[in-house]
Amino acid sequence: MQKADTGLQQPPFSSHQDPYLKSRFSSDLALNQLYPVSSQLLAEKHWTPLNIARKAARYLANEEGARILDIGSGVGKFCLAAAYHQPKAQFFGIEQRHHLYHTAETARMNLALPNVEFIYGNFTQLDLTAYDHFYFYNSFHENLVDHDHIDESIDYSVELYFYYTRFLFKQLEKMPSGTRIVTYHSLEGEIPPGFNLAGSVMDSQLKFWIKH
């Protein structure tokens, strides 16, 4: 029997050869310009820089088909950059602010990367055991300070910081041996004792952990 011609279903380039993607992921400026100005203004303080995303993604995507969750995905910058650099892993992001989730979705559609998905909600609603590895850019920290908030659309409190940190700690405790997490600028209260530090770079701001 003649094989069906699937040529039309194949993208003309792999992600790394696609000139549009190549130029979008060539610099933070080029990627940030994909977003509305309001999101661009938050980039320096709140969204992961490309060189960090690349390093974190390389560590997390240790096996083909790994499911990696960004806890507090914002406008999706980490997930999109990670998905571009690690096409054999699946990246997921959960974000509590609807407008940021919507912005991430718009960017995802623009880039048409097949291995990234965004979820709207609070991470406490997710079953983290459905994922293999995690990325965490100090998402709860805005509860501890009264400046540099992303916006004033949610309530902040020190109690919420400890509640979320404890919740994540308890979820990570349940994860099997081999689970990896990369933290960026974290105070590490969410890391249970079973996780060992496998390495750190960028003046110890970026840390690579693995559960033994």
Decide whether 74 or 85 has the Cβ nearer to ligand SAM.
74
Cβ at position 97, least distance to ligand SAM in Å: 5
Decide whether 8 or 37 has the Cβ nearer to ligand SAM.
37
Decide whether 2 or 165 has the Cβ nearer to ligand SAM.
165
Specify the stretch interacting with ligand SAM by CB under 6 A; choose among 6-14, 17-25, 45-53, 58-66.
Answer: 45-53
* HEC readout, the chain: CCCCCCHHHCCCCCCCCCHHHHHHCCCHHHHHCCCCHHHHCCHHHHCCCHHHHHHHHHHHCCCCCCEEEEECCCCCHHHHHHHHHCCCCEEEEEECCHHHHHHHHHHHHHHCCCCEEEEECCHHHCCHHHCCEEEECCCCHHHCCCCCCCCCCCCCCHHHHHHHHHHHHHHHHCCCCCCEEEEECCCCCCCCCCEEEEEEECCCCEEEEEEC
Q: Token pair of 85, please?
A: 């650099």
Decide whether 66 or 144 has the Cβ nearer to ligand SAM.
144
Binding mask of the shown chain, residues 133 to 172, with x at each position contacting ligand SAM by CB under 6 A: ----xxxx---------x-------------x--------
Cβ at position 175, least distance to ligand SAM in Å: 18
# residues contacting ligand SAM (CB under 6 A): 22
Site for ligand SAM in 54-113 (CB under 6 A): 70, 72-74, 77-78, 94-97, 100
Cβ at position 107, least distance to ligand SAM in Å: 11
Going by C-alpha positions, the residue among 78, 174, 96 that lies closest to residue 130 is 174
Binding residues (CB under 6 A) for ligand SAM: these are 46-48, 70, 72-74, 77-78, 94-97, 100, 122-123, 137-140, 150, 164
